[in-house]
């Protein structure tokens, strides 16, 4: 059976609370991979407004979401526009509100941390908070309400506030093999043929998949 269309708006029959993000996200600074989805009983079509915060065009930072990413309700991606100038005595953004005799509010006056990058096959739990410039590695799990301010290694499990890595999902040699295999980059037909192996835990069988 072929894979579903990654641009399907509501891929779960009878439920409108889940959407493939490619069907509902249209923003030049947000990149979304195939089959990544957002689940929200209030309506997943509001992903950008409800989940991507302080994302101002003049800053120019990007949110990059890989393939097969699962994002639970009310997860928050805090972008670089949330930062305030920190070089003077006050952090108040006077220039943003039109105060006179203050420096213009521009990206050059902010502590920018770069793009926010979510790898492939990542699971982000409900109300998790991802801070600006963080990279989350492939296969990672971010627990409910975790606050992530540092990069997350591939296949790590992060929980708590501040977020901390509590374990790796698999031994290091298995993680290395998965990062080499990169099943999410296979052709759709190959993924469809090998779904039992992808959902399983036999790394040798997955490596031998055709």
Name the nearest CA neighbour of 12 among 32, 33, 40: 40
In the block, residue with structure tokens 């195939």? 34
Q: Is the CB of residue 134 less than 8 Å from the CB of residue 154?
A: no
Which entry of 10, 46, 55, 84 is annotated as an active-site residue?
A: 84
Sign of CA dihedral 94, 99, 105, 109: negative
Q: Is the CB of residue 206 less than 8 Å from the CB of residue 197?
A: yes
Catalytic annotation present for 55: no
Q: Is the CB of residue 149 less than 8 Å from the CB of residue 131?
A: yes
CA angle 112, 107, 48 (to 5 degrees): 75
In the block, residue with structure tokens 């309506």? 43
Q: Is the CB of residue 119 less than 8 Å from the CB of residue 66?
A: yes
What the block records as the tokens of 118 is: 């979510």
CA distances from 182 to 4, 120, 153, 193, 200 (A): 20, 9, 15, 15, 15
Residues belonging to the active site: 84
């Amino acid at each position: 059976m072929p894979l579903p269309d990654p641009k399907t708006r509501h891929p779960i029959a009878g439920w409108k609370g889940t959407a493939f993000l490619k069907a509902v996200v249209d923003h030049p600074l947000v990149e979304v991979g195939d089959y990544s989805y957002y689940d929200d009983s209030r309506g997943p079509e509001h992903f950008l407004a409800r989940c991507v915060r302080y994302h101002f065009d003049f800053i120019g930072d990007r949110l990059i979401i890989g393939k097969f990413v699962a994002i639970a309700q009310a997860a928050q991606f805090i972008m670089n526009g949330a930062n305030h100038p920190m070089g003077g005595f006050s952090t108040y953004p006077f220039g943003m509100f039109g105060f006179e005799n203050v420096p213009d509010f521009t990206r050059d006056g902010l502590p920018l941390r770069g793009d926010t990058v979510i790898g492939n096959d990542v699971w982000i739990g409900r109300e998790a908070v991802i801070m600006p410039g963080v990279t989350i590695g492939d296969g990672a799990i971010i627990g409910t309400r975790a606050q992530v301010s540092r990069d997350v290694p591939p296949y790590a499990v992060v929980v708590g506030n501040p977020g901390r890595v509590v374990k790796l999902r698999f031994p290091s040699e298995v993680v290395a093999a998965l990062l080499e295999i990169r099943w999410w980059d296979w052709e759709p037909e190959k993924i469809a043929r090998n779904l039992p192996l992808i959902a399983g835990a036999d790394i040798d069988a997955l490596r031998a998949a055709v």
